[in-house]
Structure 1
């Protein structure tokens, strides 16, 4: 293409056909800068491609975060590790980088009573893994069981498990609330068996393993599920700690009370200031 036949509009159309929106948006600006500064053609091309790849990476992370169903407020940055002293921040941050434990399909198990931050830690790890380029899906365990049961009834369970296999990490929250007398929960065992040593699972539970006999249809399945989960696992026990959620609520209430007190004092001072002097 010579200088006379050069057509910016056609260039924009070709970039659109090639699905290069970032280059389409920036190329003219970068071309002007390259002309002024005398960039070699290779540098100009590399700059365009770097911008395109960076934007694609950003959009991919945004899509993965949206599909993950993670609570956007529950990140590791917003978790106060000082409130849960038995939880090693260094260990959690190491897991949040992903790498080897995800590659071997390892498991994270977080135990503790309600309100101590189990879900927050799990979601925080999930957010960090998305930032690192992994795909994560968060679901309440009871919701997932219902989804798998519906898939089995419609003869779609293998396809549903295959779709879940696209995620590097499944976060199953509140496993202890699943009850075998409410519905057939063997589908949960099938999920655990399907992902064993291939894809990772993070589970939060209010009860230790000894209380899981109400989750699966029979003791043998319970033992088999636990055996698979503890193999290649990291276990955090957040016991003997005051409710993390309760302490956060108490702090917010104190802040609100202090604010109300200051407002009342300010209002009283203003009333005294404007009060007419007595004769």
Structure 2
């Protein structure tokens, strides 16, 4: 008789959990009830453990969704970055940025260095750290963003797209300087930068020093305005000119050989 009652109770709990959108409670209640019986837990302890499992699982689902929504091209963590391979960077500086306080103040982060020096790794690593802190993040290249904005303007939905980017806690803008941007694209990009100025952070990576940004954006006044906005209160990190990938590969090879 008690078995039938337990089965009925589980069915009722399952239906209620489905209605209340508590999937972890629905799938874990039977297993955790067995544990509670075996360990002689009180009703309150059992309920507390069950709700904690739901909360933890929901937090993990949100974290996974934030990482998916960020559209990272691949996953790279700051902990995987070999700071010793880049003499211009300090571990303490990366640790401070990983904590995310710069986002609270809407401060930019600018990564400058040649191709292959680790800029994208650092960009993604900062983005992942932000996702894990509950922040809304989006990764894009400069060319991709400009193309999206031009298409939005042509379809008369630009304000909607600009507002979507404005709601992000952190915008990761990669490969600034790899592709020339025409006047219209530069003006649209400037809108995004202006919308976020001193309010929400941009983390930007470029293979060019600021003095050469005129080769990317055609209007000198617009170049000056863009540089002014992304460098005000910015954290500027230089990754140098030597290939990070080559140096880390050589280091790994030496370690495998024991020297």
TM-score normalised by the chain length of structure 2: 0.88
Matched residue SS, 2:89 = coil
Question: Does 1:210 find its partner at 2:211?
Answer: yes
Matched residue SS, 2:235 = strand
Q: Matches of residues 159-198 of structure 1 in structure 2 within 5 Å?
A: 159-181=160-182, 184-198=185-199
Query: Do the aligned residues in 2 keep the contact of 1:185 with 1:215 (CA within 8 Å)?
Result: no
Deviation sequence 1:43-78 (CA, Å, 0-9, x none): 222111110010011111111112212243422222
Q: Name whichever of 194-203 and 210-219 sits farther off.
A: 210-219
The residue that corresponds to 1:111 in the other structure is 112
Deviation sequence 1:69-113 (CA, Å, 0-9, x none): 224342222211111021111111221121x31122110001111
Query: Do the aligned residues in 2 keep the contact of 1:141 with 1:174 (CA within 8 Å)?
Result: yes
Q: Name whichever of 247-256 and 140-149 sits farther off.
A: 247-256
Larger Rg: 1
Sort the Cα spacing of 1:182 and 1:231 in 2 relative to 1 into closer, same or farther, 3 A: closer
Matched residue SS, 2:151 = helix
Q: Matches of residues 76-225 of structure 1 in structure 2 within 5 Å?
A: 76-98=78-100, 100-181=101-182, 184-225=185-226
Deviation sequence 1:104-134 (CA, Å, 0-9, x none): 2110001111111111111111112212222
Shift of 1:11: 1.7
Structure 2: runs of 5 or more not aligned: none
Shift of 1:215: 3.2
Query: Do the aligned residues in 2 keep the contact of 1:138 with 1:172 (CA within 8 Å)?
Result: yes
Q: Matches of residues 21-40 of structure 1 in structure 2 within 5 Å?
A: 21-40=23-42
Which structure's relative contact order is higher, taking Cα pairs within 8 Å and 6+ residues apart? 2
Structure 1: runs of 5 or more not aligned: 259-279
The residue that corresponds to 1:247 in the other structure is 247
Shift of 1:195: 0.7
Query: Do the aligned residues in 2 keep the contact of 1:148 with 1:160 (CA within 8 Å)?
Result: yes
Shift of 1:135: 2.1
Distance in 2, Cα, partners of 1:153 & 1:146: 11
Sort the Cα spacing of 1:34 and 1:139 in 2 relative to 1 into closer, same or farther, 3 A: same
Query: Do the aligned residues in 1 keep the contact of 2:75 with 2:124 (CA within 8 Å)?
Result: no
Query: Do the aligned residues in 2 keep the contact of 1:109 with 1:233 (CA within 8 Å)?
Result: yes
The residue that corresponds to 1:270 in the other structure is none
Distance in 2, Cα, partners of 1:253 & 1:43: 53
Shift of 1:166: 3.2
Distance in 2, Cα, partners of 1:249 & 1:41: 56
Residues paired across the two proteins, number: 253
TM-score normalised by the chain length of structure 1: 0.82
